[in-house]
Copies of this chain bind each other. A is one copy, B any other.
């Protein structure tokens, strides 16, 4: 059963990453420093020349600095990325360190690489060839990383940290290209990233998981599933994602009514989604008991699905309807689709991202296309229509109808990049050099973490000798041996 040296088995593959992990971290971080040195500068709002800029532009107050419009949302998004995604994945009984720790590592690398990749496409100042960054770039970098963290959910417990870093390197690159095509070339809107983030990220992860299929994964089945407290930890992730999702969808929406409306729509969709998730979870379980997997995940689908349309005039009841449907679909996904995909399509999806991100993301893209196509000047107001869809410059003459078509095209681009990129990256990750765990050593922190001793033997130790008969002591000692062995 592998090289069982310690008190837990780490399988018959070599999970030693002592060379590869530090090497990758060092080399890539040094590369980041060099590239940042060459390319990245502060933009006019984060540079000391802001005072002069204000005078020139006749801006009378520092509050007009974009920092004050977006910083609160940025911090909420930041919490979603690091605590939200990190803790959502702590539900496994023995993979909490990997969940929250690797999430941390991957995101910390990803945001740097994303600042560069997205910067080249969106924030390049052609006068000096430098990328100028401000608070909006930070939010976008967090968004970009979200895509990769979604993909992590599909392969949770089955890959090494080195593989995760490789996944992130390519994931961020693909994301930046895909985002550029969708937002800039097609001029589609996607403030909350239903297409750009969720659809892409989910299919990217699922495609990788498909390529990395492990036929003997049930050798680790003792570690699949949660324990009581790991489920409570996961609820920390769920709730911070749920609560801050209005910030996520409104973070880079247009100032004023755009951000305001995006927050309201997301708030409503999420609320509605909770009720239908509970309903389906209860009605499909023995004696109507609720399943924590559904509560932890499907309740979030409503936020995913209003990502694209959040700043449109989706209407309040429209948001409720989107959440209503997504709670149902996503919960059924956990009940029916995940087992089916594992068995028939050979896609092992640890966190069920297909139900939480892929389907709701796709639906979100469709809702966005329909809502855009249905936009009218009478509903939006002439100016409102132009501002909401940014019908300016080259796109001055685009009609809402046509915009709907481009939205749909954007969704296809996200799908193609996700699946295509995922298969490619999956093949790279299949090389036997990355230190991934054997089939019987998956979902186990033992492989990559120095684990503390077990909880059982904390307090007694010194005292139990005093109050026991000899026979009890004998039993207790043998019992301790068992628990520690």
Contact = CB atoms under 8 A, between A and B. Distances in A.
Interface in A1-30: 1, 4, 7-9, 15-22, 25-26, 28-30
B472 A268 contact: no
A229 B456 CA distance: 12
Given A271-B108, A455-B228, A264 B138 contact: yes
A481 B485 contact: no
A227 B228 CA distance: 12
Given A83-B239, A387-B51, A455 B93 contact: yes
A136 to B, nearest CB: 11
Given A50-B256, A384-B48, A448 B289 contact: yes
A462 B446 CA distance: 14
A479 B481 CA distance: 12
A452 B51 contact: no
Given A32-B320, A463-B9, A261 B482 contact: no
B459 A242 contact: no
B476 A295 contact: no
B40 A316 contact: yes
A232 B233 contact: yes
A468 B21 CA distance: 36
B482 A15 contact: no
Contacts of A292: 97, 101, 449-450, 452
A239 B447 CA distance: 23
Contacts of A88: none
- Interface range for A: 35 or more
Interface string A280-306: 101101011111100100010000000
A34 B66 CA distance: 38
Contacts of A66: 260
A108 B275 contact: yes
A69 B69 contact: no
A172 interface: no
A283 B100 contact: no
B462 A485 contact: no
A462 B483 CA distance: 12
A184 interface: no
Interface string A71-97: 111011011001100110010011011
A128 interface: no
Contacts of A225: 452-453
A289 B450 contact: yes
Given A134-B264, A243-B78, A282-B22, A257 B46 contact: yes
A275 B105 contact: yes
Nearest to A99: B232
Contacts of A278: 21-22, 25, 105, 161
14 contacts: A1-B462, A7-B460, A32-B272, A47-B261, A50-B257, A52-B384, A65-B260, A66-B260, A67-B256, A100-B239, A101-B295, A138-B263, A228-B455, A289-B447
